[in-house]
Amino acid sequence: MKPRAIRATSRRDVLSALAGATAGAATATLVPAATAQSSIGRKTVSNRKSAVAANATFDGTWPFAARYSTAPGFHLHYVDEGAGPETFLLLHGEPTWGYLSRQQIPLWARHGRVIAVDHMGFGKSAAPPDRTYWLQNHIDNLESFVLAEDLRGLTLVMHDFGGPVGMGLAIRHPDRIKRIVSINGPTPLGQPDLSERLVANAGDAPWFQWIAKAEQEGVLEAVLGQLDYNILSTLKLNGFERNEIITEAWLNAYRAPFPTPAHTAGAIGWAKGFATGAHTFEAPDAAAKAALATKPALALWGTADRTLQARHFLPLFNQAFPNGAIRRLAGAGHYSLEDAPNETAQYVARFVAA
């Protein structure tokens, strides 16, 4: 039997958090996983492609060959570097793409195969207009890709909303997962206080406060539809710290996927899904929860993360993985792979080697 899914915080919860009334947050609602729109088995493939050319390297800062899968029903971009006994599956968040891991990929590729996926509507992946962009849709897309490629023995490396997407895959297929790595990424695994902590974090985080306010005022789509122009302010609001690394190539890489409002469906969908309660977390049955709890797990967390704050999310990691290790990255913000590139690369490499 397929596990049920837990609906993420509702619109009422979000608006309560915005107002600071987090104490009385409603509990999560269980809904059948079958209610989520699934792309598995989809026969047609969207013709729309990303605005970013397959061969775009951004002045050589992204030197990896582009590959595409149509298993999820659209052109899903990924890179596949290295070879060996280990397989890393890299999952980015909002509003980034595989470029976020460009500095770590060469080191991790010395230990095995590194696959970095761009979610639907991000990076070099397509943003089809006839799809929805809720969490459950991204889980379906990733599942389709992993099954089509028959990927096994995976070390999940998850950042931001890549955490819930990766955990959704892990819950559905715990036998394909070897290790869990969370880099400033939530690890929902049916924890009893999951909804409470999500709402509490929303009340503290400028990014989630802005999402709720923008949705309430009816301007969320208009603002995020201009990511071509406001990508840097969006990254800064989320908690990007190292201004000195910003170059023209760096900025172009992050803004290139969003040249028009039509190309921002992924970024809008993730934010709007939070504000309206449309996202659903995959909920494990007892067997999946027990199987995943024994996996080796590592959490790396930037101490300056204002979007996903450690005091709300590391207890959830501890509940999911009682034997997991936690490393705090002093001075790093939400985007630890940018703010502390060497530390994140080395911590993960040592974790896998051990």
Closest by alpha carbon to 133, among 302, 299, 275, 251?
275
Of 168, 76, 169, the closest CA to residue 128 belongs to 76
Q: Are 269 and 133 in contact (CB under 8 A)?
A: yes
Other Cβ atoms within 10 Å of 271 Cβ, number:
26
DSSP letter, residue 136: H
According to DSSP H, which parts of the chain are helical?
A: 11-18, 105-108, 135-149, 162-172, 194-204, 206-217, 220-224, 227-238, 248-255, 265-276, 286-293, 310-320, 336-339, 341-353
Considering only residues 164 and 354, tell me which one the structure prediction assigns the higher pLDDT.
164
How far is the C-alpha of 306 from the C-alpha of 304, rounded, in Å?
Answer: 6
Which tokens is 118 given? Answer: 């761009």
- Listed by start position, the domains of the chain span 5-21+65-353
- Tens of pLDDT, residues 95-121: 999 999 999 999 999 999 999 999 999
Q: Distance between CA atoms of 196 and 213, rounded to whole angstroms?
A: 20
Q: For 46-50, 63-67, 256-260, 320-324, which range has the lowest pLDDT when averaged over its residues?
A: 46-50
Q: Could you tell me which of 252, 245, 237 has the C-alpha nearest to residue 340?
A: 245
pLDDT tens-digit map of 242-279: 889 899 999 999 999 999 999 999 999 999 999 999 99
In SS3 terms, 288-337 reads as HHHHHHCCCEEEEEECCCCCCCHHHHHHHHHHHCCCCEEEEECCCCCCHH
Cα gap 347→350, rounded to integer Å: 5
Closest CA to 260 of 222, 224, 228, 219: 228
Task: Judge contact between 346 and 353, C-beta under 8 A.
Answer: no
Average pLDDT over residues 193-199: 94
156 phi/psi in degrees, rounded to 5: -75, 125
Neighbouring C-alpha atoms within 13 Å toward the C-beta of 126: 21
Rounded CA gap, 48 and 128, in Å? Answer: 6
Fill in the amino acid letter for 290: A
Domain 5-21+65-353 fold: Rossmann fold (3.40.50)
- pLDDT of residue 37 exceeding 50, the answer is no
How many Cα atoms sit within 13 Å of 94 on the Cβ side?
29
Asked if 164 and 308 touch (Cβ cutoff 8 Å), the reply is no
For strands 5-7 and 76-81, give the pairing: unpaired
Which residue, among 207, 208, 205, 158, has the nearest Cα to 186 in the 3D structure?
Answer: 158
Task: Express each pLDDT in 220-243 by its tens digit.
Answer: 999 999 999 999 999 998 888 888
pLDDT for residue 243: 86
- The predicted structure's pLDDT at residue 49: 78
Mean pLDDT of the 148-157 span: 98
pLDDT attached to residue 50: 82
| pLDDT at residue 14 is higher than 90 | no
| Phi, psi dihedral angles at 44 (to 5 degrees) | -95, 150
pLDDT band at 3 (very low <50, low <70, confident <90, very high): very low
